[in-house]
Amino acid sequence: MSSLKRAQDEGLHTIQIEGLRKTYGSASPGDLHYIIKDVNLVVRSGEFFILLGPSGCGKSTLLNMIAGFVAKSGGKLTVGDAEVQRPGRDRAVVFQQADSSLFPWLTVRGNVEFGLRMGGMRKAERREVSDRYLGLVGLAGHGGKFPKELSGGMKQRVQLARVLAGDPAILLMDEPFGALDAMTRRTMQKELVRIWRETNKTVIFVTHDIQEALLLGQRIGIMSRGPSSNIAHIYDNPLPYPRDVAAPGFGELYNAIQGHFEEEEGEVDRL
Ligand SMILES: Nc1ncnc2c1ncn2[C@@H]1O[C@H](COP(=O)(O)OP(=O)(O)OP(=O)(O)O)[C@@H](O)[C@H]1O
């Protein structure tokens, strides 16, 4: 049994969030402006969880807090037994803009191997790992190219391969396909599901696209409109993988989630 699989079985990478809050600078305690407030959530090891919500509600803030990039203002946030206080090798983030995360002076292979080289891994082993992950993301044979020679979708695959090469237990994905054209996006969604099923990683995936949420996630956490946003409702998505928008049940779930947002909009309008 692999160490990741064993860790999952033992719940070592379960993410537990209780009463989590984030506020940005305020002069007096009575005047606190909460970005997120009282967020409660448990994400199980190996789960594919979606954070879905309108622009500006705090999805990236929450993801970055789990990553350890953004400090909490209150509440509890643990991975396994450990309180999250800083970034860790068990968690890695895939950003929307691959451009800003890839080193333009390194080849595709150089980018994928960068973290491994910094970690002191020997060349032959690095080569083995980068071959494996470039193959997994469909980039075998492109290792010698530079980022500027790649399409947007290919760059995003390199970013994913680099993150996977570090073998984090938890993948935190912040609208990773948001900048791609519709066809490439669909291909990447399918690839991600395939990779997730092959690697058993925990995925938390941020999107504001209901269709994307339904194609990917086992559970979909709906964030309320900010400020003081929290997870207002969680939808289970039991549809079998690989998924298709035409699958029975897809439309019903889509309508339920859309209805949820329309109701919330109505409440905002009535204020
Ligand atoms: N460093 C910061 N200082 C002050 N306010 C911030 C900071 N970072 C984010 N915010 C505010 O927090 C709120 C939530 O932002 P966040 O980027 O988390 O939302 P989001 O749901 O990911 O949005 P989008 O879907 O548009 O990316 C916004 O109102 C934003 O202006």
Query: Is beta strand 74-79 parallel, antiparallel or unpaired with respect to 48-52?
Result: unpaired
Residue 190: strand, helix, or coil:
helix
**Angle at Cα 175 formed by Cα 261 and Cα 190, nearest 5°?**
100
Residue 13: strand, helix, or coil:
coil
Q: In this predicted structure, what is the pLDDT of residue 271? A: 41
Cα–Cα distances in angstroms (integers) from residue 117 to residues 108, 111, 125, 131, in the given order: 14, 10, 10, 15
What is the Cα–Cα distance from 177 to 211, expressed in whole angstroms?
13
pTM of the model: 0.90
CB of 54 closer than 6 A to ligand 1?
no
CB of 8 closer than 6 A to ligand 1?
no
Is the ipTM here above 0.90? yes
Map out the domains of the chain as residue ranges.
3-90+168-270, 96-167
CA neighbor of 50 nearest in space, from 146, 152, 192: 192
CB of 35 closer than 6 A to ligand 1?
yes
Domain at 3-90+168-270, CATH from 3.40.50.300, 2.40.50.140, 2.40.50.320, 3.30.450.40: 3.40.50.300
CA neighbor of 231 nearest in space, from 5, 43, 4, 25: 43
Q: In this predicted structure, what is the pLDDT of residue 184? A: 85
Taking only the tens of pLDDT, the chain with its 271 residues reads: 555 565 555 567 899 999 999 998 765 666 678 899 999 999 999 999 999 998 889 999 999 999 999 999 999 999 998 999 999 999 999 988 878 889 999 999 999 999 999 999 999 999 999 999 999 888 999 999 999 999 988 999 999 999 999 999 999 999 999 888 888 889 889 989 998 999 889 999 999 999 999 999 999 999 998 788 899 999 999 999 999 999 999 999 999 999 998 887 765 554 4
For tokens 């905002």, the residue is 268
Choosing from 22, 23, 24, 205 the residue with most ligand 1 atoms within 8 A of its CB, the one to mutate for a pocket test is 24
Cα–Cα distances in angstroms (integers) from residue 224 to residues 35, 40, 182, 217, in the given order: 11, 13, 26, 18
CB of 208 closer than 6 A to ligand 1?
yes
What is the Cα–Cα distance from 96 to 206, expressed in whole angstroms?
10
The protein residue whose alpha carbon is closest to atom 7 in ligand 1 is: 24
Residue 107: other Cβ atoms inside 10 A: 17
Let me know if 65 is exposed, middle or buried by CB neighbors in 10 A (0-12, 13-18, 19+). buried
CB of 59 closer than 6 A to ligand 1?
yes
What is the Cα–Cα distance from 159 to 108, expressed in whole angstroms?
9
Task: Give the count of alpha carbons within 13 A of 14, CB side only.
Answer: 12
Task: Give the count of alpha carbons within 13 A of 62, CB side only.
Answer: 37
Residue 145: other Cβ atoms inside 10 A: 15
For tokens 């509600």, the residue is 57
